Structure 1
Amino acid sequence: MFIRNSKGFRPVLALGLCLILLTGLLAGCQGNGNDGDKEAGSNQQETGFKAGTYTGEAEGKEGTIKVEVTMDQADQIKDIQIVSQSETAGLGDSAIEQIKEQILTHQTLTVDAISGASETSNAMLAAVEAAVKQAGGDLEALKAGTVAKAGEGKVEQLEADVVVVGAGASGVSAAVSAADKGAKVIIIEKTAVIGGASNLSWAGKFYNSSVALENGVKVAVETEIADWIVNNHWRVDAAAIRQYVTKSGETYDWLNEKGYNTTFINFGGEQLHMLPAYETRETLLRAMLAESVEQHGGQVLTETTAKKLMTGTDGAVTGVVAEKKDGTTLEISAKSVVIATGGYAGNKEMVKESFGFEGINGGLGQNIGEGLQMSWEAGAKVPDNFGGQMLHQTLARATGNLKKEFTPYEASYPMMTAYLPNFMNVGPSGARFRDEASTLEAVAAANTSAFNGAYHLVIVSKSQLDALAAKGMTGVNAPKLPGMPPEFYADFADQFTLENPWTNAEQVFDAMVGNGDGFKGNTIEELATNAGMDVEVFKDAFNSYVEATKSGVDSEFGKAKEYLEPMGEEGPYYAVVAEINNLGSVGGLLVNTKFQVLNDSRVPVKGLYAVGLESEGVLFNDTYVGNGVGLGYAFTSGRLGGESAAAGALNQ
């Protein structure tokens, strides 16, 4: 829930995550019968659980979690085995093991979700509950217990020069640079993982880095800055843009010196720097923290959640109140506090109210906005452009379910249609809303769709599907391969060609419809009805589009003739549900070029700094339009912001 007051939106956040046990979705789980066929009541009370091993499953964040639960004759959960899961390495898989151990140790299903992995935690609990239900007995009694936290009521006090809240790319960079300037630093992270969204990302932009210049790729700085300002309608901080464009190249060398080596890519003239191998990133960031923060007497505290900022009588920020995993309250006094909490894209309600976006959160679920909330309560200004998001890839709702039945290549057919300009796109009402050539650029595709509604529909006719089945994407004259991120097609890279026929195409699209992830109609009227579109609106749009394919002239949106693929003369017709991936919120705190957080009078809140996504709103008007800027700015703002925070602390 959100309320608006003189400082703008104020999220009312339930920081203690509620457990949602999705029992109603788990019908059909079956026990394997091991000992489960013993006579009822053997060594048990009539209401007791039936000993045996039972199987349960539930949908996690990245796929199905399947478990085997063994009940013994003492009405206890004797063992839990993880049969299969595909959750995020280092976070989701760790959460599964922690939930398992808590259930076994405390013999209760009322277990707190793991910070940063609530969806995975709840799915693990639901899978175990589904298995336990098959053993009969008093399930509610098993859910009645609670897990006491050993540190509840305990208060510890710590001191530092600089406290950094959040250990993603920007937070780690801030902590390391502050420590290198001589500050004693404590960095806290509410999950067990160091690195945040940078562990999942691809590349950053460091303008005119030494390696870019060595490869003969140079950006005209003044032109870049001028174009950036104009493209954002002048509603940006020109000094902040200049700082990033002129200082980010130094960040490349700084990271390399720290052992976090990036690889230069000339991406169509853009200076992108690919991050180290995914599996090495957290280790490298932890090494940076150890060599700087810890060697200078500081601390790295994970599974520690910031609750509020401490302030003095003059309004200056003097530290952070946080809670450790065991319930212990930490009161950390500091002269400078750096907010690096990664935004609020994981808070659907907050995103909807501030930006109107209802798509997919492709970032981290733990980023729910409490860093902003704490800062606003301490006097920080809500920026005038608050609400911007980092909208990027297009997703097809059908993909996940199709992968359970088809190969990864086949399961991706619907998503690939969403990346090609050769198909008709309509909004929820059935009205066409863009030149579909927008699909050729990720940011253009994402923003045109999001502006139109919660999703859009890609219309595929029978003749087009037949052409795809016969000749692959060349059959519909696709100009190039769908511009999906590399990780989307990593499992079928050898099949990912324009010429490869779409075998089983009709079966795949029919399965999409059967799963409720798309629609089908033998006529356009039937398709409109089944998809919830306005029949007359869709008929008008469809007929106009067909006329454009025949004449070669799109008078409504100006789509190029070569992309106006004929629809054929008969059904069936399919509608693919396409949604937009939001990689993170943009902004929420107004900062100056020292990364000091400003109040309503645009004067620094003493002792408070912000880096990364929380501060990125100074670069953009209402939404992110960069390529690699998010990561490049995260590392650069962290490096520079940490130096400023250290100077502010040490010069007092």
Structure 2
Amino acid sequence: MSITRRNFLKGAAIGGVGVASAGLLAGCASQASGSGDASRVEEGQPAKVSVLGSMDPADETFEGDVVVLGCGPGGIACSTRLAENGAKVLIVEKTENIGGTGMVCSGNCYISLNSEYQLEQGLQADIPAFYREWLEAVHYHCDHEVLSTYLRNCGRVVDWLRGYGFGFYMKETPPTNGLSGNEYRISQPPKDDDNRKKTYGKMVDAVISAGGAMHTGCTGQELIVDESGAVVGLRATQGSKTVDFMGKAVVLASGGYGANQDMINELCSVPLLGRDPVLNNGEGAAMAWAAGAAKPWNLGILCCDTLYPIDENYVSYPGGVQALGNVMQDPAKGRMHVSRFGKRFHSEDAFCWVPTYGGANGVAYDEPWLFVIADRAAIDGLKEADPDTVTDAYLASMKDSGVLFEGATPGALAEAVGWDPSVFSAEFEAYAALCEAGEDPVFFKDAKYLVPYGDGPYFAVRMAPTPFGTCGDLSVTPKMEVKASEAGATVSGLYAVGTESVGTMHNDYYWALGQTVGWAHTSGVLAAEEIAATVL
């Protein structure tokens, strides 16, 4: 069922970004929309959606079959697959570059279940078993059919990408802690390799050869709908010009809101520092909500990565004692993590095998940060490992900044931080007893990581989970149609791929080993094939 005009107008009135952030989206200057006032989200805020025929004329208009907003991995994959099906695709990109986060991510971003590439390596995946493992890891909080669709198609998409020259290599990472996905993990070429640039360029060339076009420097402002409420175009700004891109469908591949600190502040329950390397400012999601798209249950929960030192004003402090909270290092598993009240609240070793676990858990319980406890030996080890950085002067500067705290005894450390000394001292003694007994009856921390602390002085470093991308922006069907706020309905003509829709497969953190770019490519292909089959 597609959303009706009545429900579209209702969604336009209530479905947009709130006042606090709608006017703060980078590149989204407020514009008049002619007589389409009913589609405004808030009085005085950008409309985000306008009805065809009720708009002021654009300075320039382009017409095609499909409009794709964003030229990152999802947008490129979708556009290229559409072009293969004979579609004239208009790619709208806010920057002057192609590739988006696909050009800057680490590259360890794929599972490739039963692709020809992996079968050539002698590795055959048990997809149903992996599916069940994924469900367990996310506590069954995901769209099970979307997940199944992804797992059943990711392999063929990797083979398709290889046909355009995309290189991959196997990750030599053995299965750990039940995460069999490690076994199926592959990587794309390194960031400084020209393969990504060349391959994405070749794919965009295929779009242009099919009659499409690439429009850079264009920031999406409003979705354009017809009288039935179906999405038929996109209004963007290009410098001082207003440009309309018209088609039979619009695909949002704009990457979420991970670079929009204002949206993060409004939507997240605790302060988080966005560190999205690309200009993913949330305009796609904002327009979709205004057009009646559903806001998913996990909206405002971002993918939280490893910990970074931070002060009480949530200002990040670079380098130095980050190794104390680097959960990928085994020694970190032997250290206590305590809340802002000086008490343990999770199993530190569980945090280590899924880096996002601790950050997501803290966010879920409104913990803006945690503290990692170290002894003198740990600090001395950091000095020896990196003597040029971890100097006494550097540590003193971290103390002055409210990131690092020191005390001769556990009680003195508590006073330095601001905890109740009796509470933290009791917690410290209890942890020592666990180490001596070799058993953690509450959090079940692995006995091999119950390592007792040595002599003081003792240190606490304030760490915060930091998101490297959005988790829940838009909900989609297995065909990548954007779900509407009306139960069972979709926003006609609107699709979402990549980060905009990846939260459909997750609850509060990314599982499956950094597969976000793999999802972007696969969802882009799936959307293109659905549009080619039912819209064109």
Normalising by the residue count of structure 1, what TM-score does the alignment of the two structures yield?
0.67
Residue of structure 2 in register with 1:584 after alignment: 469
Residue of structure 1 in register with 2:158 after alignment: 252
Give the distance between the partners of 1:623 and 1:503, measured in 2 at CA. Answer: 32
Structure 2 residue 308 is matched with structure 1 residue 395: yes
Structure 2 residue 531 is matched with structure 1 residue 645: yes
* Deviation (angstroms), 1:329: 0.5
* Deviation (angstroms), 1:217: 1.9
* Deviation (angstroms), 1:648: 3.8
Structure 2 residue 292 is matched with structure 1 residue 379: yes
Q: Which amino acid aligns with 2:303?
A: M
Could you say if the C-alpha distance between residues 535 and 554 of structure 1 is closer, same or farther in structure 2, counting changes exceeding 3 Å?
A: same
Residue of structure 2 in register with 1:91 after alignment: none
Equivalent in 496, 512, 530 of residue 610 of structure 1: 496
Give the distance between the partners of 1:615 and 1:285, measured in 2 at CA. Answer: 24
Could you say if the C-alpha distance between residues 353 and 553 of structure 1 is closer, same or farther in structure 2, counting changes exceeding 3 Å?
A: same
Residue of structure 2 in register with 1:242 after alignment: 148
Equivalent in 13, 17, 26 of residue 22 of structure 2: 13
* Deviation (angstroms), 1:506: 5.3
Equivalent runs, 1:3-402 vs 2, <5 Å: 7=15, 10=18, 12-14=21-23, 17=26, 155-201=59-105, 202-203=107-108, 204-269=110-175, 270-279=183-192, 280=194, 283-324=197-238, 326-364=239-277, 366-397=279-310
Could you say if the C-alpha distance between residues 505 and 566 of structure 1 is closer, same or farther in structure 2, counting changes exceeding 3 Å?
A: farther
Aligned residues: 479
Residue by residue over 1:228-262, the C-alpha shift from the partner in whole angstroms, topping out at 9 and shown as x without a partner, is 33443433322211111111101111111112222
Alignment partner of 1:510: what SS?
helix
Alignment partner of 1:218: what SS?
coil
* Deviation (angstroms), 1:192: 2.1
Contact 1:509/1:574 (<8 A) preserved: no
* Deviation (angstroms), 1:384: 3.3
Alignment partner of 1:528: what SS?
helix
Give the distance between the partners of 1:592 and 1:264, measured in 2 at CA. Answer: 31
Deviates more, 1:455-464 or 1:177-186: 455-464
Residue by residue over 1:136-194, the C-alpha shift from the partner in whole angstroms, topping out at 9 and shown as x without a partner, is xxxxxxxxxxxxxxxxx971011010000011110111111111111101111112222
Give the distance between the partners of 1:631 and 1:16, measured in 2 at CA. Answer: 24
Alignment partner of 1:589: what SS?
coil
Give the distance between the partners of 1:630 and 1:415, measured in 2 at CA. Answer: 24
Contact 1:162/1:649 (<8 A) preserved: no
Alignment partner of 2:521: what SS?
helix
Deviates more, 1:412-421 or 1:362-371: 412-421
Equivalent runs, 1:518-537 vs 2, <5 Å: 518-537=404-423
Contact 1:337/1:645 (<8 A) preserved: no
Give the distance between the partners of 1:5 and 1:205, measured in 2 at CA. Answer: 40
Give the distance between the partners of 1:309 and 1:523, measured in 2 at CA. Answer: 60
Could you say if the C-alpha distance between residues 271 and 427 of structure 1 is closer, same or farther in structure 2, counting changes exceeding 3 Å?
A: same
From the CA coordinates, give the structure whose radius of gyration is larger: 1
Contact 1:418/1:578 (<8 A) preserved: no
Residue of structure 2 in register with 1:631 after alignment: 517
Q: Which amino acid aligns with 1:293?
A: V
Contact 1:464/1:567 (<8 A) preserved: no
Give the distance between the partners of 1:400 and 1:389, measured in 2 at CA. Answer: 18
Question: How much is the aligned-residue C-alpha RMSD, in angstroms?
Answer: 3.1
Could you say if the C-alpha distance between residues 618 and 383 of structure 1 is closer, same or farther in structure 2, counting changes exceeding 3 Å?
A: same
Give the distance between the partners of 1:368 and 1:16, measured in 2 at CA. Answer: 6
Give the distance between the partners of 1:8 and 1:199, measured in 2 at CA. Answer: 30
* Deviation (angstroms), 1:505: 6.2
* Deviation (angstroms), 1:276: 1.9
Residue of structure 1 in register with 2:432 after alignment: 546
Alignment partner of 2:333: what SS?
coil
Contact 1:380/1:589 (<8 A) preserved: yes
Give the distance between the partners of 1:377 and 1:417, measured in 2 at CA. Answer: 40
* Deviation (angstroms), 1:417: 7.7
Contact 1:518/1:576 (<8 A) preserved: yes
* Deviation (angstroms), 1:547: 2.9
* Deviation (angstroms), 1:316: 0.7
Deviates more, 1:419-428 or 1:440-449: 440-449
Give the distance between the partners of 1:545 and 1:416, measured in 2 at CA. Answer: 20
Could you say if the C-alpha distance between residues 580 and 339 of structure 1 is closer, same or farther in structure 2, counting changes exceeding 3 Å?
A: same
Give the distance between the partners of 1:289 and 1:587, measured in 2 at CA. Answer: 28
Contact 1:4/1:10 (<8 A) preserved: no
- Taking only the aligned residue pairs, the percentage that are identical comes to 29
Give the distance between the partners of 1:362 and 1:618, measured in 2 at CA. Answer: 22
* Deviation (angstroms), 1:461: 1.7
Q: Which amino acid aligns with 1:186?
A: L
Q: Which amino acid aligns with 1:182?
A: G
Could you say if the C-alpha distance between residues 347 and 260 of structure 1 is closer, same or farther in structure 2, counting changes exceeding 3 Å?
A: same
Give the distance between the partners of 1:444 and 1:578, measured in 2 at CA. Answer: 14
Could you say if the C-alpha distance between residues 454 and 584 of structure 1 is closer, same or farther in structure 2, counting changes exceeding 3 Å?
A: same
* Deviation (angstroms), 1:503: 9.6
Contact 2:265/2:272 (<8 A) preserved: no
Alignment partner of 2:523: what SS?
helix
Contact 2:189/2:196 (<8 A) preserved: no
Contact 1:265/1:272 (<8 A) preserved: yes
Alignment partner of 2:75: what SS?
helix
Q: Which amino acid aligns with 1:314?
A: S
Contact 2:439/2:447 (<8 A) preserved: yes
Equivalent in 450, 453, 463 of residue 564 of structure 1: 450
Alignment partner of 1:391: what SS?
strand
Unmatched 5+ stretches in structure 1:
19-152, 404-409, 473-494, 496-500
Residue of structure 1 in register with 2:41 after alignment: none
Unmatched 5+ stretches in structure 2:
1-10, 28-56, 176-182
Give the distance between the partners of 2:215 and 2:333, measured in 1 at CA. Answer: 48
Alignment partner of 1:566: what SS?
coil
Normalising by the residue count of structure 2, what TM-score does the alignment of the two structures yield?
0.81
Alignment partner of 1:430: what SS?
coil
Alignment partner of 2:184: what SS?
strand
Give the distance between the partners of 1:443 and 1:218, measured in 2 at CA. Answer: 28
Contact 2:16/2:289 (<8 A) preserved: no
Give the distance between the partners of 2:407 and 2:136, measured in 1 at CA. Answer: 45
Deviates more, 1:347-356 or 1:194-203: 347-356
